[in-house]
C-alpha cells in the first residue's frame, strides 16, 4: 500500500489545521466534512492564513501553491478510500466519534490505520465499534496544529505494535515530537492544562478581571498565552467538554467544571470562533475588549 494519502475527517478548527500540517509535509490530503459550510470555512481559513504568511514574507507564493496542491476537500466520507492513515477530528462527543469510526471502518482500505484526535475520550471504546480495533489509536494534536510541536500517542487496549509504529513514523514526517500518553481522561497535557484553565475561570467567576488572570500567568510563568485567552482560543465548549470528561472519567470532585463555563456555552459564548467569549473579537478574530 502506498503511504502517501492521508484523510482527515472533520474540517473544524483541529481538522483543518491537521490537514494543513500533513499537506505541508508533502502528503496528499483530503479533508472531509459532511457539512458544506465547514468545508467552505476551512478553505477560507487556510487561504487567509497563507496569504498573511506571504504578505509577511514567511511563505512564498510558490510554496503556498505547492501546499495547496496537496490539499483537497470533500463532502463524501467514501473519499477515505486509498488513504493509509485516516485522522478523525469530529466534535468531542463519544456518540459522534463512534458513529464516524463505524462508517469510516466500512469505507476505508482494510490495511488502513484510523486514529482519533480525541483530547481525552477512551480509544478502546471508540475502537470497539470497528472491525479493526488493533489498527486504531489516539493521535492528539494541539491547537494550532500546524504550529504546535507535540503529538500525544495513545494506545488502546488492543492497538498493535505495527499500528503504533506507523503513526510514530508519520508523526516524525510531519515534524512532530511524540509522547506516549496513558489512556485515561485528558491523556497527558490536558490533564494538567485544563484544570488550570478551569481554576482561572473560577477566579473570573469570583470577580477577578480576565486580563489580570492572563497577565499573572504570562508574566509570572512565561506562558505564551494566559489561561483565559487560551480558553477563548481553543473554544470554551471544547475546554468544558474536556473538563467534564475528566470529572466523569475519574469520578473525582477536584475536576468539577466551573459553572461559569457551562453558562457561557449554553448562551452561545464559545470564545474566539463565536466572536464572544471572556473577551470580544472582531470578524478577523482580533481581540477588541472584554
Ligand atoms: N493556524 C496555523 N498557523 C498559525 C495559527 C493558526 N491558527 N496561528 C498562528 N500561526 C502561525 C503564524 O502563521 C506564524 O507563522 P509564520 O512564523 O510562518 O509566519 C506563527 O504561527 C507565529 O504566529 P504569530 O507571530 O501570529 O503569533 P505568536 O508568535 O504569538 O504565536 C501561537 C501564536 C503559536 C498560537 C502562540 O500564541 C502560542 O504558542 N499559544 C499557546 C498555544 C497553546 O497553548 N496551545 C495548546 C492549546 S490546548 C490544546 O490544543 C488541547 C486540545 O485538546 C484542544
State how far the alpha carbon of 45 is from the alpha carbons of 13, 231, 252, in Å. 9, 20, 39
Q: Which residues contact 193 (CB under 8 A, 6 or more apart)?
A: none
pTM above 0.90, yes or no: yes
Which stretches of the chain are assigned E, i.e. beta strand?
5-9, 28-32, 71-74, 85-88, 113-116, 136-140, 150-155, 177-180, 280-281, 287-289
**Which band of pLDDT confidence, cut at 50, 70 and 90, is reported for residue 290?**
confident
Atom number in ligand 1 closest to CA 140: 53
**Which band of pLDDT confidence, cut at 50, 70 and 90, is reported for residue 48?**
very high
CA of 128 to the centre of ligand 1 (A): 34
Q: Where are the alpha helices (DSSP H) in 81-209?
A: 94-107, 123-127, 161-173, 189-205
pLDDT over 80 at 1, yes or no? no
Q: Does 144 contact ligand 1 (Cβ within 6 A)?
A: yes
* Catalytic status, residue 211: no
* Catalytic status, residue 119: yes
**How do residues 87-106 score in pLDDT, each as one tens digit?**
999 998 899 999 999 999 99
Q: Collapsing DSSP states into helix, strand and coil, what is residue 268?
A: coil
CA of 143 to the centre of ligand 1 (A): 7
pLDDT over 80 at 2, yes or no? no
**DSSP assigned state of 181:** -
**Which band of pLDDT confidence, cut at 50, 70 and 90, is reported for residue 33?**
very high
Cis peptide before 288 (omega within 30 of 0): no
How large is the ipTM? Answer: 0.96
Which pLDDT score is estimated for 247?
96
Cα(48)–Cα(287) distance, integer angstroms: 18
Contact 30, 5 (CB under 8 A): yes
Residue 187 grid cell: 491523556
Q: Does 53 contact ligand 1 (Cβ within 6 A)?
A: yes
Which pLDDT score is estimated for 176?
98
**How do residues 130-164 score in pLDDT, each as one tens digit?**
999 999 999 999 999 999 999 999 999 999 999 99
Catalytic residue from among 124, 190, 198, 229: 190
Amino acid at each position: 500500500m502506498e503511504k502517501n494519502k492521508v484523510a482527515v475527517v472533520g474540517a473544524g478548527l483541529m481538522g483543518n489545521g491537521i490537514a494543513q500540517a500533513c499537506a505541508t509535509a508533502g502528503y496528499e490530503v483530503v479533508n472531509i466534512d459532511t457539512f458544506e459550510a465547514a468545508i467552505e470555512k476551512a478553505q477560507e481559513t487556510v487561504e487567509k492564513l497563507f496569504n498573511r504568511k506571504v504578505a509577511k514574507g514567511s511563505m512564498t507564493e510558490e510554496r503556498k501553491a505547492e501546499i495547496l496542491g496537496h490539499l483537497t476537500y470533500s463532502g463524501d466520507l467514501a473519499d477515505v478510500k486509498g488513504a493509509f492513515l485516516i485522522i478523525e477530528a469530529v466534535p468531542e462527543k463519544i456518540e459522534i466519534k463512534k458513529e464516524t469510526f463505524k462508517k469510516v471502518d466500512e469505507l476505508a482500505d482494510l490495511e488502513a490505520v484510523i486514529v482519533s484526535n480525541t483530547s481525552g475520550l477512551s480509544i478502546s471504546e471508540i475502537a470497539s465499534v470497528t472491525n479493526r480495533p488493533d489498527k486504531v489509536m489516539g493521535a492528539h494534536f494541539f491547537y494550532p496544529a500546524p504550529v504546535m510541536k507535540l503529538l500525544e500517542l495513545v494506545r488502546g487496549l488492543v492497538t498493535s505494535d505495527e499500528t503504533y509504529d506507523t503513526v510514530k513514523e508519520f508523526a516524525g514526517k510531519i515534524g512532530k515530537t511524540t509522547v506516549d500518553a496513558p489512556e485515561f481522561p485528558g491523556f497527558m497535557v490536558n490533564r494538567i492544562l485544563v484544570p488550570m484553565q478551569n481554576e482561572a475561570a473560577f477566579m473570573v467567576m469570583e470577580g477577578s478581571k480576565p486580563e489580570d488572570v492572563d497577565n499573572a500567568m504570562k508574566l509570572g510563568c512565561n506562558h505564551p498565552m494566559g489561561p483565559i485567552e487560551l480558553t477563548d482560543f481553543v473554544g470554551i465548549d471544547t475546554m468544558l467538554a474536556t473538563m467534564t470528561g475528566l470529572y466523569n472519567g475519574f469520578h473525582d470532585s477536584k475536576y468539577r467544571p466551573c459553572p461559569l463555563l457551562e453558562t457561557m456555552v449554553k448562551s452561545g459564548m464559545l470564545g474566539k470562533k463565536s466572536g464572544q467569549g471572556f473577551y470580544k473579537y472582531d470578524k478577523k478574530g482580533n481581540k477588541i475588549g472584554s
